[in-house]
Amino acid sequence: MELKRKCEKSIIDWYRNSEKALLIKGARQVGKTHLIRRVLKELGCDIYEVNLIESPEAMEVLNVADNIDDLITGLSTISSGRLKKGETVIFIDEIQRYKEIVTRVKFLVEEGSFRYVLSGSLLGIELNNIESAPVGYLTTIEMFPLDFEEFLQVTNIDDDTIQRLHASFQNREPVMEPVNSKMLDLFNRYLVVGGMPEAVSRFAEDRNINDVMEIHGNIRDLYKLDFTQYETADKRLLLKNAYDLISSELLRQNKRYIVSDLKKGLHYDRVEATFLWLYNAGVAIPVFNSTEPRIPLKLNKKSSLFKLYLSDVGMLTSEYGMSTKRKLLNRDPALNAGGIYENAIAQELRAHGFDLYYYNSNRLGELDFVIDLNETALPLEIKSGKDYTIHSAINNCLNNPEYEMDEAFVLAGCNVQKKDRVTYLPVYMVMFITKDSSELVLDDIVF
C-alpha cells in the first residue's frame, strides 16, 4: 500500500510558497526518495532526477557549469529527460557524494530557472555544514521512520477514533476500555514491526513477521556497509561494535550506555567520534544526561553520559528475536520490555522534534526522559509492568520548587488517569506529545 507521511504537507507548502531549494535528509531506508518522487508527481511537476551515485559525472557538471545554459547542456548528456525553464523541478539524490552542493545551492537558487530538491543519507557525516548554507536559500526537512500515528494507517483505526483519543489526551479523561485495549495491542504490534517503510508495507500485505525480520536484517547490513567509510580498519570495527552493543545495553536496569563495555578501560573522550558518527548518520538516538532537570536542559547537558537507542524499534526487537516479538504480541507480562518501550518513546519524541535528556540523582532518583515542552521541563517515566504507580523520582522532582515542573507523565500499559500533577497515559498516547500538544499532528492528511 502507499504510505502517507506527515512531512508531505511540508513538501507541498515548500512547493507552493517558497523559492528556496528543498533539502530532505534522514537515515537510509526511511523513504526519502520514494516520497519526493510521489509528492512531486501528485503536484503535477515536471521532474528531472539525477542520482549522484548512479551518475557520478553529474558532479562535474554541477561543479563546472558557470551559467544555467551550461548546466542544461551538461545534464542533458546524462539523462534523456528534458529541462524546461520555469517548469522543471531538478531532484538531485545522494548529495552526500558532492560536498560542494552547499556552496552551489546559492547560485542555483538565485538564477531562478528551476526549482531544486536535494536528498541524501549520511548528510550529518559528509555534509556537516549543510545547514550553514547561505541563509535564505535552503529549506530543510528531516525524515524519520514512521511514527506510531503514521503506522496506524495500515490498521483499521480511522481518523475519527484518533480524534477521540486525542480529546481524551487533552482532557485527561479515560478511554473506553475496549478501545484502549485495542490500541495497546496495536502499539505492541508497532514494537514488533517498527516504522521502516519497507517493513511496514510488507507487513500490511502479508502480516508475515519473518519477512519483516528479513527486511530489518537487510537494512542493518546496509548501515554496517556505511561504516566502511571510516579510513582505518580499527575505527570501522569500533563503530560496528558500538552499534551492535546498543541492544544489549538496553537490557540494563538503567539503560545507560557503558563505554567500557566496548573494551575494558576505554574512556568516552577516546571514542567520542564513533558515537557522533552514529548520531549524525541517524542510525542511533542519543539521550543525554542533564545534571539538573530544569530549563534550559541543554545548559546542563553532559555529553559523556548517555543512553543510546536504535533509530527504529522494530529493528531492535528483530535483534532480540522471534520469541521476543511473540511475547510482545501476546502482551506477556514476564517479558522484560522496559528497553523496548523506551526505544519506541525515544523514537517518537525525536520524530516530533524534541531534544532528549534523562536525569539521574542518588538523592532524587532517575527520570527516564526529560523534555522541554512549552518552555517547561516535562519528566516522563516509562513503565512496562503493572507497578506504574510507583515513581519516587517523579514525586521528588515535582516537589522540588527549583525545577518549576507543572506536571509529569507516566506512560504505561494503562488507561488515562490524573492524580494531582501526575498523569498516567497509555503508552500509545506518546503520539500526542508534540511541541504544540493542543493540535492534532495529522490535521490535513487523511489515511
Catalogue all structural domains in the chain, each as residue range(s) with its CATH number.
8-142 (3.40.50.300), 148-432 (no CATH)
Separation CA 240–CA 197 (nearest Å) = 24
Identify the pLDDT of residue 128: 60
Mean pLDDT estimate for the chain: 91
What pLDDT digit, counting tens, does each position of 16-46 carry? 999 999 999 999 999 999 999 999 999 999 9
Task: Give the mean pLDDT of 292-314.
Answer: 96
Q: Return the C-alpha torsion angle 310, 314, 318, 323, nearest 10.
A: 130
Can you give the length of the chain in residues? 447
Helix (H, G, I), strand (E, B) or coil at 410: strand
In sequence order, which ranges of 1-56 are alpha helices (DSSP H)?
Answer: 8-17, 32-42
pLDDT tens, 386-396? 889 989 999 99
Predicted confidence (pLDDT) at residue 68 exceeds the cutoff of 70? yes
How far CA 11 is from CA of 6, 40, 142, 189, 356, in Å, comes to 10, 9, 11, 29, 26
The residues, any chain, with a CB within 8 Å of residue 157's CB and separated by 6 or more, are 182, 183, 186
Would you say 379 and 359 are in contact if contact means Cβ atoms under 8 Å apart? yes
Question: Is 70 exceeded by the pLDDT of residue 255?
Answer: yes
Mean pLDDT within 338-364: 96
| Global pTM value | 0.93
Q: Is 267's pLDDT higher than 70?
A: yes
Pairing status of strand 417-419 against strand 422-426? antiparallel
Tell me the pLDDT band of 437, cut-offs 50, 70 and 90.
Answer: low
Instruction: Label residue 231 by pLDDT band (50, 70, 90).
Output: low
Of the two residues 179 and 333, the one the predictor is more confident about is 179
Judging by beta carbons within 10 Å of its beta carbon (0-12, 13-18, 19+), is residue 179 exposed, middle or buried? middle
Cell of 202: 510488507
pLDDT digits (tens, 9 = 90+) for 87-107: 999 999 999 888 788 778 888
Confidence band of 126 (pLDDT split at 50, 70, 90)? low
Q: Radius of gyration (Cα) for the chain, nearest Å?
A: 23
Contact 413, 426 (CB under 8 A): yes
Half-sphere exposure of 326 (CA within 13 A, CB side): 4
The predicted-structure confidence for 170-226, as pLDDT tens digits, reads as follows: 999 999 999 999 999 999 999 999 999 999 999 999 999 999 999 999 999 999 988
Task: Quote the pLDDT of residue 440.
Answer: 40
Lowest mean pLDDT among 4-8, 234-238, 293-297: 234-238
The answer on pLDDT for 150 being more than 60 is yes
Hey, what amino acid is at 191? L
Task: Report the alpha-carbon distance of residue 118 to residue 104 in Å, rounded.
Answer: 12
Distance between CA atoms of 71 and 104, rounded to whole angstroms?
12
Q: Is the pLDDT of residue 291 over 90?
A: yes
pLDDT bin (cut points 50, 70, 90) of residue 438 is: very low
- Render pLDDT for 367-393 as a digit per residue (tens, 0 to 9): 999 999 988 999 999 998 888 998 999
Across the beta sheet with 21-25, the strand order is 46-51, 88-93, 115-120, 21-25, 138-142
Three-class DSSP category at 426: strand
From CA 371, how far away is CA 61, in angstroms rounded?
45
Edge to edge, what strands does the sheet with 408-412 contain?
301-310, 284-290, 357-361, 365-373, 376-382, 408-412, 422-426, 417-419
Query: Do the Cβ atoms of 45 and 15 come closer than 8 Å?
Result: yes
Q: What is the pLDDT of residue 80?
A: 77
Q: Give the model's pLDDT for residue 377.
A: 96
Is the pLDDT assigned to residue 445 strictly greater than 80?
Answer: no
Task: Count CB-CB contacts under 10 A for residue 159.
Answer: 14
Q: Are 52 and 95 in contact (CB under 8 A)?
A: yes
pLDDT at 131 over 60: no
Residue 230 pLDDT: 63
Lookup: cell for 270: 577516546
Measured in whole angstroms, how far is the alpha carbon of residue 340 from the centre of its chain?
Answer: 15
- At residue 427, the pLDDT reads 98
- pLDDT value, residue 272: 93
Alpha-carbon distance of 212 to 198, in angstroms, equals 8
Give pLDDT, residue 65: 87
Give pLDDT, residue 442.
42
Residue 133 has pLDDT above 80, yes or no: no
Residues 6+ apart with CB under 8 A from 60: 74
Q: Rounded to whole angstroms, how far apart are CA atoms 111 and 122?
A: 28
